[in-house]
Structure 1
Amino acid sequence: MDLVIEFLQGLNIWWWLGLAGVLLIGELITGTTYLLWPAAAALITGLLTLPFIGIDWPIQLLVFSVVSVALLYIGDRFVKPRLKSGSESGLNTRATYLVGERVTVVGAFSGGKGRVRHGDTEWTARTEDGADINPGDRATVRAVDGTTLVLASEA
């Protein structure tokens, strides 16, 4: 027990900065933002251990715990949704850009399903109302369902 108390009494800015660094490395590996907030709390706690402030170890642990929980709550509730909202780059979602585009039917539709061409690519397609479209006709893409284009035929 004396060894644990001796360790806790030795907590200083370098220990807290080291913990913050380890947590930041973990954050870089995982990319979840959940380790970012305890790392920030460790930095804040470390700054409070400077000689001119010099708080004791029980207060250091309390500050680290309270600040970690507060930052985790704030980060998960307010920061993380904002980070996710701007992450739709369009990479690997090429089909979503086809909504509103006109395509040409390249094979006769049967049961509302067939093939269309947009540019140099052929796509599996189906009509919204299940109607068949003749080859050479034009249609407008209304939605994308997986890799299938949902079409509205043009009269």
Structure 2
Amino acid sequence: MTLGGISAGTLWLALALLLGLAELLIPGVFLIFLAVAAAITGAATLALPDLPLAAQLGSFAIWSGVTVLIGRRWYHDYPVATADPLLNDRAARLVGEIVVVEQAIEADGGRVRVGDGVWPARGPDAPTGARVRVVEVDRGVLVVEPIAALTPS
């Protein structure tokens, strides 16, 4: 099968090259897996020039799934080290922060001011204006303790 005199295998390899370049320009560790799948499909199409288009597309789909699963496993086993592992976890970044009680914390909870926003909070009773420390984040609710409770005695 050819398109304008170019074999399907060559087109698949060109697609693999384009996907690889796109991964370099827009890094996201995803397009590279599709590039590998396209390269495998291109090699198979060069080896079997009469491979129907449906089989080529099926090959690409299967190899895309396989390479993405291999990539996921790889990044799970060998995570990328970062200087700021909590960069995209705003809630986890709040642990240890000292915040001000905006709405008194009582048995049913309250609210605390974090920067220019207000978050729901729970913990020991604390009056409005009290300073408390965030010790945990539980499903979007800040768990706080009075600062005095955390100072060594």
Q: What TM-score range do you get, normalising by the shorter chain?
A: 0.5 to 0.7
- 1:65-94: CA deviation from partner (whole Å, max 9, x where unpaired): 99x9788546523x2244575597734x42
Distance in 1 between residues matched to 2:111 and 2:127, nearest whole Å: 11
Following superposition, the deviation at residue 153 of structure 1 comes to 2.7
Q: CA deviation at 1:34?
A: 6.1
Cα pair 2:95 2:135 within 8 Å, conserved: yes
Which residue of structure 2 lines up, in the alignment, with residue 42 of structure 1?
41
Rounded Cα–Cα distance in structure 2 between residues aligned with 1:135 and 1:112? 15
CA contact 1:141–1:149 (8 Å) conserved in 2: yes
SS in 2 for 1:143: strand
Question: What residue in structure 1 maps to residue 110 of structure 2?
Answer: 114
1:111, distance to aligned residue in structure 2 (A): 0.9
Tell me what 2:136 maps to. Answer: 143
Q: Which consecutive residues of structure 2, in runs of 5 or more, have no partner in the other structure?
A: 23-29
Contact 1:110 1:132 in 2 (8 A): yes
Confirm or deny: 8 A CA contact 2:19 2:32 kept in the other structure.
no
Equivalent AA in structure 1 for residue 138 of structure 2: D
Counterpart in 1 of 2:95? 99
Query: Using a 3 Å threshold, how does the CA distance of structure 1 residues 133 and 89 change in structure 2: closer, same or farther?
Result: closer
1:125-140 correspondence to structure 2 within 5 Å: 125-127=121-123, 131-140=124-133
Give the letter aligned to residue 95 of structure 2.
Answer: V
Partner of 2:12: 19
Equivalent-residue separation in structure 2 for 1:74 and 1:19 (angstroms):
16
The structure whose Rg is larger is: 1
Q: What is the SS of the residue equivalent to 1:117? A: strand
Identical pairs, percent: 25
Alignment pair present for 1:80 and 2:72: yes
| Cross-structure match for 2:26 | none
- TM-score normalised according to structure 1 size: 0.55
| One of 86, 90, 97 as aligned partner of 2:87 | 90
1:94-141 Cα distance to aligned partner (Å, 9 max, x none): 2321111111212222215111122332221112xxx31122322221
Q: Alignment length, in residue pairs? A: 130
* C-alpha RMSD of matched pairs (Å): 4.3
